[in-house]
Structure 1
């Protein structure tokens, strides 16, 4: 049966590329993916496949029932874009100013749509049920996964599989991790409220820029001196804003950044230590410092049994160059919520193009042949799971 699936997918590759490029030209940011959701709905409507729209807001969930009883397997793809200006010189460049698919979600969607079509064509020969979860708003917390789960997208599901096309990994490879594969992604915003004044009279002020600079420097010691070296953590300050004239000492500065961890204990430690350093710095300078620590997605933790199963299945998929145990990535992913509810695994499909740029880069692109590898691997995992 897998061979029949592979043939159908091979024959649909041109359509897969066409869908991907259409979506790439018409991107929509998180929680505003109205036209993208309609495109997905129309695809299933034309196939005659049962689907639900507006799942958890903009999500779409389609179901294909096999002719024989069996397990229920879910496959997931995200479809939101990013507020980034597309700088590629390609025919399928984004037509929306300031918005582009810079993370491969257009490819994820094209992959899952053509896989769903192939499984639908084979349904009379298949056992079990196949659930295709098209998720909105992966890029922006709280994300779309949690609301789709609350709206029932995992009801009756026995296992879930998902993949991410990865632009900096060798194309057409499958790379897996058992246990944590992507980090918890939290956000911090820190406001330093000092006392401004004339640049010529610093002794009469509480310089918010100096105080905030001390915070940035002291935060860098958290990972190196408070986190067990065997564990992992990242604290990055990405924004430091204090807008003043050249001769005025700032009364306020605002820092924004991100914290990435795998362990719940280290996540708690980072939050408490940031609060402690801020409190101590405020006491030292006799000023007010407020910390807003917002927990984003939890870590993506793959289930051991399902990960080993996926690894074994991928080794038999034609076109897969290698199946590699890789290292966890510090990027965040709300696929974590699915894995907190049902067994499953999330893996990377290498998709490095000739001129590779990292995810979220204005020139991001990927090797489109890797969509076929992703579709075959996900399809083989879904069909073989019935056995």
Structure 2
């Protein structure tokens, strides 16, 4: 229902949406600093007479479109932050800000959702209920979804379901991938400081060497994955940095190690830090060292609701045809804070393909990341169709 109208409106407003995307891309802003991006969103919503609330979780914006009659409420979300990265695409609309770049598609997510807003605002006489348009800060860093939830984005009116899309470099252009159940991993980080006793490199017996202890701990931590976890449960434990010492003949007092952990099972998610600390404590006790271990739980597992994923798949099939919508073969171990929304209301997240050559997929978080503007149409049309179908159901 309304598919042809959605597609026509998307074509009618396409050039404006592309212009918005280019403007956002030229002026990238990192987490909780998206003031210019938020203002552009506000200006666009005001232009089309769409009600909104700004300043949510500092820079977040929520637009509200009310249908002909009261009914259910559906939330559509886009993230709007950029990365700390120097762009090397040489596009005509490349970043104008040094060491800042939209290298993950959030410029497209934001512009695409604005396209959805314009479409649905034009069709609001044809559906009942309410559409909330959630423009979220800081997905790439500490996450803006949870702060927006805590400031009431799911209330007044109460949200019944939520949907989002990601322009995805591992999916072919013109295709959409959906996923029933776990889709993206819980994403945690940790910092470990090993505290020994420094001294002369020629007299290691008088020291407690934190470097040799660190090396042993790093090796042993891999046994958490290989020997303490069910081999059928996906787990990633990666060391990202190790720092300690300043000279070739000086044993330092301390070494700092940082890393990340990714899991898809909540039981495993809870078990991992306990297993890690058991190893850390055992090694440090053995060699007479002390330690500080800081484990930070970041985003939970993104788990799609089965019924909402069915709805999203059927909606995208109306836009692209059933042959171009498929089930994701396996989850990704990247993190996504849309997971907080999925914990609270029935939700679904989908990947919209942007890769023209699957032998060389587009790399996210890469200085050469770029995609064709035409993919914005699929995002705008797909989210609009999802909203209409949910509210009509």
1:147 Cα deviation from its structure 2 partner: 1.2
Question: Could you tell me whether the CA contact under 8 Å between 1:260 and 1:330 is conserved in 2?
Answer: yes
Matched, 1:89 2:90: yes
Equivalent position to 1:283, from 285, 288, 298? 285
Instruction: Give the C-alpha shift of residue 11 in structure 1.
Output: 2.2
Q: Give, in angstroms, the shift of residue 356 of structure 1.
A: 4.3
Question: What is aligned with 1:22?
Answer: 23
CA distance in 2, matches of 1:11, 1:320: 25
Partner of 1:341: 344
Cα drift, residue 121 of structure 1: 1.3
CA distance in structure 2 between the partners assigned to 1:46 and 1:154 by the alignment: 25
Q: 1:266/1:189 Cα in 2 relative to 1: closer, same or farther (>3 Å)?
A: same
The Cα of 1:319 is off from its aligned counterpart by 6.9
Q: How does 1:280-319 map to 2 (within 5 A)?
A: 280-318=282-320
CA distance in 2, matches of 1:319, 1:305: 19
Where 1:348 maps in the other structure, the secondary structure is: strand
SS at match of 1:340: helix
Greater shift, 75-84 or 31-40, is seen at 31-40
Change (3 A) 1:302 1:4: same
**TM-score normalised by structure 2 residue count:** 0.95
Matched residue, 2:161: 159
Shift of residue 264, structure 1, vs aligned partner: 1.2
Residue 366, structure 1, aligned to residue 368, structure 2: no
Q: Report if aligned partners of 1:353, 1:367 keep a CA contact under 8 Å in 2.
A: no
Q: Is the Cα–Cα contact under 8 Å of residues 351 and 368 in structure 1 kept in the other structure?
A: no
Is the 8 Å Cα contact of residues 5 and 118 (structure 1) preserved in structure 2? yes
Preserved CA contact (<8 Å) 2:311 2:389: no
The match for 1:38 is 39
- Residue 258 of structure 2 aligns to a residue whose secondary structure is strand
**Cα deviation digits, residues 89-148 of structure 1 (max 9, x gap):** 21121111111111111000000001101111122233221110000111112x111111
Note the residue ranges of structure 2 that are not aligned, 5 or more in a row.
Answer: none
Within 2, Cα distance between the matches of 1:363 and 1:195?
Answer: 45
Distance in 2, Cα, partners of 1:42 & 1:320: 36
Q: Is the 8 A contact 1:172 1:319 kept in 2?
A: no
Whether the aligned pair in 2 keeps the contact of 1:183 and 1:300 (CA below 8 Å) is yes
8 Å contact 1:75–1:378 — kept in the other structure?
yes
Check conservation: 1:136, 1:144, Cα contact below 8 A: yes
Give the Cα separation in 1 of the matches to 2:56 and 2:322: 33
- Aligned CA-pair RMSD: 1.5
Separation (CA, whole Å) in 1 of partners of 2:310 and 2:321: 20
* Superposed displacement of residue 168, structure 1: 2.1
TM-score by length of 1: 0.96
- The number of equivalent residue pairs is 386
| Distance in 2 between residues matched to 1:76 and 1:239, nearest whole Å | 33
Query: In the alignment, is residue 8 of structure 1 matched against residue 13 of structure 2?
Result: no
Residue 170 of structure 1, CA deviation: 0.6
Q: Note if contact 2:173-2:354 (Cα within 8 Å) is conserved in structure 1.
A: yes
Whether the 8 Å CA contact 1:356–1:364 is kept in 2: the answer is no
The answer to which of 37-46 and 180-189 deviates more is 37-46
For the 8 Å contact 2:194–2:290, the answer to whether it is kept is yes
Q: Deviations over 1:353-384 (max 9, x none)?
A: 56744211122222322221122111111111
Correspondence for 2:126: 125
Q: Counterparts of 1:352 and 1:243 in 2: how far apart (Å)?
A: 44
4+ long deviations beyond 4 Å:
353-356
1:238 to partner: Cα distance: 0.6
**What's the CA shift for 1:68?**
2.6
Give the superposition deviation at 1:43: 1.1
Higher mean alpha-carbon deviation, 344-353 vs 317-326, is at 317-326
Structure 1 distance, partners of 2:368, 2:249, is 39
Residue in 1 that maps onto 2:253: 251
| Secondary structure at 1:102 match in 2 | coil
Contact 2:3 2:318 in 1 (8 A): no
CA contact (8 A) 1:160 1:344 kept: yes
Contact in 2 for aligned 1:306/1:344 (Cα 8 Å): yes
For 1:223-264, what per-residue CA distance to the aligned partner results, in whole angstroms no more than 9, with x for missing partners? 111110111110011111114122211221101100001111
| Structure 2 CA distance for aligned equivalents of residues 243 and 94 of structure 1 | 38
5+ unaligned residues in a row in structure 1: which ranges? none
